[in-house]
Structure 1
Amino acid sequence: MSRSVAAPPISPHRSLMVAVKTRAFTILCEFEHAQTELIGKAVALSDGKAGTVEQVYLDELHGLRITISGHDGRWPVSTIKFTQS
């Protein structure tokens, strides 16, 4: 006679940690995707500055921010427009 052994129940703590790790992994994947899409692209900022995206940063208060070649500072992604090629 064969006995089925039920898997041990997942504790609420373990379940929460799995959810947190999954969310963190998703954020990092999306950040990497944004870097791939933005770095090297020609953009113009809403204040008239233009250049190529050099770096993408994740800012805990503002979300994604970028640096533009030839200009000091970091700007929110919401202030850029892609230039026509």
Structure 2
Amino acid sequence: MVSARTRAFKILHEFEQAQSELVGKAVALSDGKAGTVEQVYLDELHGLRIAIRGHDGRWPVSTIKFAQR
């Protein structure tokens, strides 16, 4: 059986990984907002959420599309 501590470390590791992959990336939201990911949050009710520079609010990570290069 996996201990609670091991699960917590795995969650934190995945959060840090997502943060390093997303912060600073150019994205567009499904509602038309676009910008650079400024910060990543872990919301206990909604999961992973992002803040975009220049826009108020936090959006689910599922609503983003990465800018094409």
Q: TM-score, normalised by structure 2?
A: 0.96
Which runs of 5 or more residues in structure 2 are unaligned? none
**Structure 1 Cα separation of the partners of residues 42 and 31 of structure 2:** 21
**In structure 2, the residue corresponding to 1:84 is in which secondary structure?**
coil
The residue identity in structure 2 corresponding to 1:67 is A
Greater Cα radius of gyration, structure 1 or 2 = 1
* Alpha-carbon distance, 1:81 to partner: 0.3
The RMSD of aligned alpha carbons is 1.1
Tell me: higher relative CO, structure 1 or 2? Use CA pairs within 8 A at least 6 residues apart.
2
More strand by share: 2
| 2:19 corresponds to | 35
Q: Which runs of 4+ in 1 moved over 6 A?
A: none
> What is the percent sequence identity of the aligned residues?
81
1:82 aligns with 2:66: yes
Q: What number of residue pairs does the alignment pair up?
A: 69
